[in-house]
Amino acid sequence: MNNEQLERLATEAGLSVHWVDANARPQVVSPDVLRKVLEALGYPAENGEAIDASLQKLQLARHGASAPPLLTV
């Protein structure tokens, strides 16, 4: 597993990994924190295989692999 793979999963899950703070200093979330937050969101990221599976899970969710939460008839 590498940090690029982890950061890609975090970004796909809607997390901001890099940002600039109020003092114009660049900030980065540490890999350990990313893993814990992703796990709490339901996307395991403890190794490369888990990250790949979580990315696939996100892609399936985005592409309508499941029924919509509500159908109005």
Q: What is the pLDDT of residue 2?
A: 83
Is the Cβ–Cβ distance between 47 and 1 less than 8 Å? Answer: yes
pLDDT digits (tens, 9 = 90+) for 22-69: 999 999 999 999 999 999 999 999 999 999 999 999 998 887 656 666
Rounded distance, CA 27 to CA 20, Å?
A: 6
Q: What is the pLDDT of residue 51?
A: 97
Q: Where are the domains of the chain?
A: 3-58
